[in-house]
Structure 1
Amino acid sequence: MNLKRKFLPTLMVVMICTALSFAQDVKITVLNPRGNPPPIPLIPMAPRPDSLDAKTIYFVDIKYEGGASLLRAIMEWFTQNKPAAKLVMREKAGSFDQEDAKLWSEIKEKADAVVVAVGH
């Protein structure tokens, strides 16, 4: 039993040293796990309107916690400070990560500006 306690660590050291010396002589080829991603097209932001008077501003709640209350507070500010602007509140269908093509189509057709709230 005592012999095993002395012999086992020595054997492990010899095995590790042998493995390390072998590993230094071997060359391996690996592939880059990131691959070659395509370039990201840059899309500029829409130009700002000169004025918000008589403009339609959509406020979109994507149902993230706290988003609706944030939008209501912003809409209240607009009501007091930009009364000539038309304010439209919409709730996106589905969860925050799902597409709502119908809503985005409506916004493209009718909105002059949009505020999307993430919340928190």
Structure 2
Amino acid sequence: MLDATAIAVATGAAGNVIAYLIQGNIDDVRARIAAIFRRTSAGHRAEALRVLDEDAAALSQQTVSQADVTARWTGLLTAVLAAHPDARADIEALASTTAATKTVNIGSQHNHGGGTFIGGDHHGDIHNGRD
């Protein structure tokens, strides 16, 4: 039986799996999942990677909730941790990393040509939201 800390680590790692998938960073998380599941059989590892692909597709099509996918990955990671305690370092690493976000940096906007331009030219970063 796993202690509460181990379950919390698995839950945090599962949450980061979802974050990677939502950000479209499936290749990054696939490498991490493969490293965690390398301790299991080749069939189990292949199954985990298949589930990862299915979850990525389902999340992008919004046919599954994030909570359902998080629960599934919490269960998968907890099972690996129970069977292979040496996987804890890899699971903790997944739990403590942040999925890279996709950003767009627009440095300048120049309005040329005829017509009315509300706001004129803008120089510098354009931020969504308030600081």
> TM exceeds 0.5?
no
Q: Could you say which structure has the higher helix fraction? A: 2
Q: Could you say which structure has the higher strand fraction? A: 1
Q: What is the TM-score with the length of structure 2 in the denominator?
A: 0.30
